[in-house]
Chain A
Amino acid sequence: MDTFVTIVQLAIAAAVINNFVLHYFVGICSFLGVSRRIDMALGMGLAVTFVMAIAGLLSWVFTYYLLRPFAPLPAWVWHMVGGDPGVTIDLSVLSYILYIFVIAASVQFVEMYIRKFFPGLYKAFGIYLPLITTNCAILFACLEIMKQLQDPTRLWGLGEALTLSIFGGLGYTLAIVLMAGIREEMDRCDVPRSLRGPGISLIVAGILAMAFMGFAGVDRAIETTFTVLMKK
């Protein structure tokens, strides 16, 4: 039950409270680039969610077994070559290059898959699908997972890592679809000429981000609610 509460808290925190786009301001380029129409935005959001889930899964595996301090594989190799047990081999310098590698490979894979089985979606994405490779929201998810694997006493499991990446992706989808809805309505508005295009989009994004600040503290409320429920 305790794990369940933690997962729910983590999911809501990743999707809404600490929304990747509107709280951490990562993934802004695709957030502004593909938020013109709702259907495109939804497709982009789901593709990012999918890639983020794969990248989160792989990065947890690699970080857990290879990159974190006291990771099993380097320790085993160190033991096999007969090194001093007091020294640890830390491969965390590889984190960035490894995550980028993992993300690029999974984007390539997703692109081939979508091209084969969803040609319409592939056509609609155009250049934005390969650009997911450089979507910083995904690298951010990987780095968040790595951050949680630094302290050997409080390690994240695969479940937590997957929750963060999937619900982080869903939060990105939520943000970009909201933005697309607003921008579709805004096409019919008489925007002052000096603000047309990127100007008004950034203002809208800022107001949206401020609105999302209102979710702060919801996770604590959920914890309290669950505690009360369990007591009953």
Chain B
Amino acid sequence: MSILVSVLLAAAVLGALAVVAAYVLGWANQAFNVEVDPREFAVAAILPNVNCGSCGYVGCGEYAAAVAAGKAEVNLCAPGGQDCARRVAEIMGVGLEPSFPYRAVVHCAARTDQRRGRSDYQGEPTCAAANLVADVQGCTYGCLGMGDCERACPYDAIHVVDGLATVDYHKCIGCKKCAKACPRHIITMVPFKAERMLVVACSNKDFGPEVRDVCEVGCIGCQACSKHAEPMEMAGHLPVINYDAYASADQFALAVEKCPRESLLFIGKPTPADLAAVAEEPLPERVEADFQTTVDDTEWRG
């Protein structure tokens, strides 16, 4: 008897509570209703949700709200790329000009042994700190190789190789974090119209002998390339590629040939031809363990 009453009472209590709570929450849902544009949810569902911030908004949710409110362009998402922009444009009912994925490009090609006038810098091992020191390196424009970009990259897509920041284009999604981190501003975002793009891999604005004094590969401003390729022009002593006029690599064949230094480079994902060339290389017979890779490279300065 008492058990039966307990069970029934418990069921009645919970049932009554459920009804009351449902009523109160239902009322609150109507009373505190916030009008949200349904397109905002649709856009947010398409965005890749990596919250990288390359669109200029705090996160994907805020960008979706800005797009839905008509305050932002539909093609700002770098990780989503063209496909994402097309679907967002469909939802918003706007036209979309063809856009290309922007990827980071390091405008420097000198490895440590090709740079001249480097001093024995033993300070804080960051580019930001080294950049404040006069004469840390002969070239005041080029990569310092302390890896601020490497630490800024959330996608493990840029690494300092032989003292030069090198982008891994298989991993880069174009979030601009390295470009913001570089104290010398030599990383820019380039629209990749093809898998491999031609870039001017030097930032030195000086002329001839001054460049030769500080670098073995830097651009000397000889103008040979800009005379032989239409979409190139000189900005001071440095050639600049007009990527709006960039159609194919063939436009630049002569310019690359005429360059006396190694300042015009094709970068990006390797082509099948490159991979085929490497495939013929003999593999090393015995692979030695590389203990350096297991060593923690951040030193403790207690």
Contact = CB atoms under 8 A, between A and B. Distances in A.
B10 A91 contact: yes
Nearest to B11: A94
Interface in B1-52: 1-2, 5-6, 9-10, 13-14, 17-18, 21, 24-25, 28-29, 32-34
A116 interface: yes
A192 B302 CA distance: 8
Interface residues of A, number: 29
Nearest to B6: A89
Given A105-B24, A109-B24, A116-B34, A89 B5 contact: yes
B301 interface: yes
B250 to A, nearest CB: 50
Given A83-B2, A105-B24, A94 B298 contact: no
A78 B3 CA distance: 11
A87 B28 contact: no
B296 interface: yes
Given A97-B14, A98-B17, A101-B21, A112 B32 contact: yes
B291 interface: no
Contacts of B62: 123
Contacts of B296: 193
B133 to A, nearest CB: 21
A91 to B, nearest CB: 6
Contacts of A78: 2, 5
20 contacts: A66-B13, A74-B9, A81-B5, A83-B5, A87-B2, A90-B6, A91-B9, A91-B13, A94-B14, A98-B14, A101-B17, A101-B18, A101-B21, A109-B25, A112-B28, A112-B29, A113-B32, A115-B32, A116-B32, A193-B298
